[in-house]
Amino acid sequence: LAKTTQPISMDSYEGQEVNITCSHNNIATNDYITWYQQFPSQGPRFIIQGYKTKVTNEVASLFIPADRKSSTLSLPRVSLSDTAVYYCLVVLSGGYQKVTFGTGTKLQVIP
Amino acid sequence: GAVVSQHPSWVICKSGTSVKIECRSLDFQATTMFWYRQFPKQSLMLMATSNEGSKATYEQGVEKDKFLINHASLTLSTLTVTSAHPEDSSFYICSANQQLGDNVLTFGAGSRLTVL
């Protein structure tokens, strides 16, 4: 399982774009990059997943460079409700492989 | 979308008693479910992989006799904390894979266990 490294915490003002970078130097060919969001006392929620280049959905964008050794989660115009912990995971595609979580990034949105 | 229901959402028990937590996949079948534990201000720690119709696979350091896992059907897995002690107080979260080939997990809302 590829290890991920991301900042422990970040602060941002409301309305700003937030970019959280994750490094995964030993990512394997069949691995996908997946991000989850977790609010206090709740289970994590899937945000976005990608393999390469750029993926966008209604919540976020995920940028993955060609070497795939890092990825950046971009949250446009954050609000106070985006205050949460964001986890970057590298997961093997297909099957039911176990998924382990790293430390995550605690994002605090400031009014 | 996929929904995983977890019950109870919180439970308080006396030391020495056993507590059962249920995890159900509501609109899909889950051959495999995962149980995590999370202490305050820490990340999720994988405890075990629950396999329908077979024994669970426990992570290193997790006592299988302490944390009994049963996955009797394709939509239900249960975690029983036996002879609970205060150090077992934690947030327990289950998850299931919708089996779409992307290894994306759907998580339950979690169960807060407090052992007095």
pLDDT digits (tens, 9 = 90+) for B88-108: 999 999 999 877 777 889 999
A30-34, B61-65, B95-99: least confidently modelled range: B95-99
Chain B residues within an 8 Å CB radius of A95: 103
Can you tell me the distance from the alpha carbon of B26 to that of B32, in angstroms, rounded to the nearest whole number?
14
Helix, coil or strand: residue B32: strand
The residue in chain A having the minimum alpha-carbon distance to the alpha carbon of residue B6 is A43
Please tell me which of the candidates A43, A93, A94 has its beta carbon nearest to residue B93: A43
Q: Kindly tell me if the per-residue pLDDT of B4 is higher than 90.
A: yes
Query: Domain ranges in chain A?
Result: 9-110
Cα–Cα distance measured from residue B67 to residue B94, given in angstroms and rounded to the nearest whole number: 13
Per-residue pLDDT band for A99 (boundaries 50, 70, 90) equals confident
Q: Which residues of chain A approach chain B closer than 8 Å at the C-beta? A: 32, 34, 36, 41-46, 49, 87, 91-104
Question: Least CA distance to B107: which residue of chain A?
Answer: A43
By Cβ distance, the residue of B43, B91, B103 closest to A95 is B103
Sequential DSSP letters for A53-90: EEEE-SS-EEEE-TT-SEEEEEESS--GGG-EEEEEEE
Residues A16-41, mean pLDDT to the nearest whole number:
94
Inspect the interface and report whether the beta carbons of A41 and B91 lie closer than 8 Å: yes
pLDDT score recorded for residue A1: 60
Query: How far A31 CA sits from the closest chain B CA (Å)?
Result: 10
What value does the mean pLDDT take over residues B16-35? 94
Q: Give the sign of the dihedral formed by CA B48, CA A103, CA A40, CA A42.
A: negative
Q: Note the pLDDT of residue B98.
A: 78
Q: Does pLDDT of A73 surpass 90?
A: yes
Alpha helix positions (H), chain B: none
pLDDT-derived band of residue A92, with 50, 70 and 90 as boundaries? confident
DSSP strands (E only) in chain B: 4-7, 10-13, 19-25, 32-38, 45-51, 57-58, 67-73, 76-81, 90-97, 105-107, 111-115
Mean pLDDT over B48-74 rounds to: 93
Superfamily classification of domain A9-110: Immunoglobulins (2.60.40.10)
Reported confidence tier of residue A58, pLDDT bands at 50, 70, 90: very high
* Cross-chain residue pair A49–B104, CB shorter than 8 Å: yes
Binned at pLDDT 50, 70 and 90, residue A94 comes out as low
Q: Do A41 and B45 touch (CB under 8 A)?
A: no
d(CA B101, CA B93): 22
Q: Is the predicted pLDDT of residue A96 greater than 70, yes or no?
A: no
Question: A43 vs B43: CB contact, 8 Å cut-off?
Answer: no
B45 vs A contacts (CB less than 8 Å): 101
